[in-house]
Each structure stands twice: as structure tokens, then as C-alpha cells.
Amino acid sequence: MSRNQPSKPPQGLATQAIHGGEERPRPGNAISTPIFQTATFVFRDTAELSAHHSHQNRREEYGRYGNPTTHVAESKCAALEGAEAGLAFGSGMAAITTTLFAVLSQGQHVILTNDCYRRTRHFCTGLLGRFGVDATVVGTSPGELEAAVQPNTRVLISESPTNPYNRCVDLDHIAEVAQRHRLLTIIDSTFATPVNQRPLDHGIDLVLHSATKYLAGHNDVLGGVILGKEPIIDAVRDCQGILGGVMDPHAAYLLIRGLKTLPIRIERQNATAMKVAHWLEAHPRVTAVHYAGLASHPDHETACRQMSGFGGVVSFEVAGDLDETSRVVDAASIFQIAPSLGGVESLIEQPALMSFFELSTEERLGVGIKNNLIRLSIGLEDADDLIEDLEGALA
Ligand SMILES: Cc1ncc(COP(=O)(O)O)c(C=O)c1O
């Protein structure tokens, strides 16, 4: 049996979140999976070592090649995403970079959508170029993707929904284009989580998450995970063994713990975000709200087709310039100013001063970031308290 397959797949998502990926009995008959805080693993004798090298027994060897706690986190993520296998990393960026290094070779080409996390874009358009891999950045509309395909295109990577505008790419269309051109598809589903969206069911090859966000969910751990078919995950694992971006066992423990409440957290975050989005849309000082759950969002139909909830990130524009927008951000009190998203604490940020601070207003507009844009990550506080906080800030 695969290391990544739970012994007995339970039924619903909430049940899988609690029990999926965890073997019974646990070591020491503990109810929670213990943290194997060890860098290396002991062999009884050289015969056991030889058996390990000839793949006769599957066991741990050295922390960079795997750890029992981390394997449980991987299996639980795989169970939730409906994937054959999973692999955890020390951060979302380690998952992205290691996966792309594993699947791309010199002379190949990658297509990515423009609303991608800026570090993913930097990696594809900057660093990969130094290794002879070209990248084309395209919009999310169906025609643009296909037009960018070249004879040497190998990978199509996109986020859905995207940051900060919650744009949604049509997953069926991506899978269909990729199949026709024999491309490998990767969807960064961080904003959606397996609760709101299941890209593998649409024919996507690999799903990626910054586990730092909703999966771990408590703003206290960095992590990343890639999920898909076993052979390709094995190839990425081999690359990880060289590049070394593994998840620490204590982080894996926190991820397992966080995942147990994922469905219930997401359900609540979906509901609160929808309430906040509707409230913002009706506010006289708000000029636009970017939430895929709203009928006014350009990708509302796509989102309704492929998502069962719209997530906890709500972006909106206020009537005002950079400084006036900053005053709104500064006036919030429950919402705290911080990068990241997906945790239990609600966060607020002005993208112009957070991720895009080094750009001029013109340069920011060139990448679609307006000075009056605010991004909220809705946490688990009471919706009415969050709305009251925003009401005070906007006043
Ligand atoms: C959509 C998305 N993907 C990937 C990442 C990178 O994840 P990490 O910060 O865990 O490296 C982020 C981080 O903000 C993100 O928002």
C-alpha cells in the first residue's frame, strides 16, 4: 500500500479531515499523531540497510527524505484533495519551485496566468529563465491560454481564485487545452482549499497549496503541499531530496492539527466573507468589491460552476487616494495589518503598500494594483464585529 493512502478511506470531508491519512493504532496508542522530532533514523543492522536500499522495506532513512509525522500530514492532505499522493514542503514557495524544477528542463516553456502570486511570477519569469526555461504570462480568459501554447510548452500553471481580485480560471477549459497539447497542469488552489474546489476532479494534474494559509489555518506555521498522481509526486520527492525544502516535523504536526478543523473553518469563513462582501457592496464609500460570490464579479458564473464556496478573501476599493485608503486600514482594530491570509485572525492590507510597495503608482497600475485597493482575509471572529470594525474604519 502507498505511504500516502489512508488505510481505510472514510466518507465525508469532515470525517476525512479528522481521520484521513492517519494510521491506527498510533505509536504509543496516542490519539493524536506524535511529532517525530528526529533528523535521522536508526537501522538495526546492515542487512536492514541493504533491504531498504533495494526497496524491500519502506521505512525512514534521513529527515530530508521523509519523516513519519510529515507523511501523515501529506496523507491527510491527499485524502482531502482526493489525490493519490502528496508531498509537504517547508513553505508554499518551496512546493512551487521544487515542483517546477522537477517537471521542467532546459529549452522548455511554461505558461502562467497574470494574477499569480508575485513570487511565483518572479520565479517563472526571472529565475527559471537563467536555467533556459521561458515563461509567458497570460490573462485568465480561455482564448489567451491556448494562444500562448508553443511547441516546447510543457507546463500550464495558474491560481484560482487569484490574489487579490479573486479571478477564477475555467478549470475544465485548462484541462481540455492541456490534454490537446499534452501539457502538465498545475493549479495553486490555496485560496479555495479542497473544501471549496477540487481541481483534480476537473482533470488538472497537480494541485498546490501554500499550507501556511487555510490548510494549517492559524497563522503560526509555514508550509506547502503538492498533490496528484503517485509517479509525478515521486519525481517531485526525488527533486526535494536534492533541493531540501522539506517540512519540519513540528510544522507537520501543526498542519495535521489545523486540517482537522478545515471544513468547519472554511464553512464559517465562506459565510462571513459573503456577508462582509454584500455589506461592502452597499457602502457609499466603497467603489468596487472583488469577491467571486457576488453576481457583480466577472467570474461569478465560472466560480459557481466549479466552487462550492467562495473563500475568505474579500478585496475592495474605497473612494479615495493612497493616503485616504491607508487611513481606513489604520483605523481598523479587529482586522490587523499583516501579509498572509487564511488564518483564524482577520487581516487587512493595502496591496500598494504591502506586496507592491517598491513600485510607483504607474508601475502598480501596470500590474493591476490600485492605490485604493484593500484586501481582507476574513478570520473566525463574529461577522457582526468585523462589519462594525469596517464601518468604523470607513467612517
Ligand atoms: C496563492 C499563493 N501561493 C503561494 C504562496 C507562497 O506560499 P508561502 O508563503 O507559504 O511560501 C502564497 C503566499 O502568499 C500565495 O498567496
173 phi and psi angles, rounded to 5 deg: -65, -45
Per DSSP, the three-state class of 178 is helix
Active site residue 253: no
Same domain? For 185 and 296 the reply is no
Rg (the chain; Cα; Å)? 21
Q: Residue 58 has what pLDDT? A: 79
Cα 222 to averaged position of ligand 1 atoms, centre (Å): 9
pLDDT digits (tens, 9 = 90+) for 226-268: 999 999 999 999 999 999 999 999 999 999 999 999 999 999 9
Cα 161 to averaged position of ligand 1 atoms, centre (Å): 13
Q: Residue 99 has what pLDDT? A: 98
Residue 2 in domain: no
pLDDT digits (tens, 9 = 90+) for 184-241: 999 999 999 999 999 999 999 999 999 999 999 999 999 999 999 999 999 999 999 9
- With a CB cutoff of 8 Å and minimum separation 6, the contacts of 338 are 219, 347, 349
Out of 197, 229, 259, pick the residue that ends a domain. Answer: 259
Task: Specify the number of domains making up the chain.
Answer: 2
- With a CB cutoff of 8 Å and minimum separation 6, the contacts of 14 are 263, 264
**CB of 224 closer than 6 A to ligand 1?**
yes
Q: Please pick, among 115, 170, 188, 389, the residue that the annotation labels catalytic.
A: 188
pLDDT digits (tens, 9 = 90+) for 361-386: 888 888 888 999 999 999 999 999 99
What is the distance between the alpha carbons of residues 350 and 371, in angstroms, rounded to a whole number? 8
What is the distance between the alpha carbons of residues 390 and 395, in angstroms, rounded to a whole number? 8
Cell of 272: 462571513
Domain containing 44 — which CATH number? 3.40.640.10
Same domain? For 72 and 179 the reply is yes
Residue 4 in domain: no
Can you give the residue range of the structural domain that contains 225? 13-259
Q: Residue 6 has what pLDDT? A: 41
Q: Does pLDDT of 8 surpass 70?
A: no
Same domain? For 206 and 311 the reply is no
- With a CB cutoff of 8 Å and minimum separation 6, the contacts of 257 are 32
Out of 233, 259, 285, pick the residue that ends a domain. Answer: 259
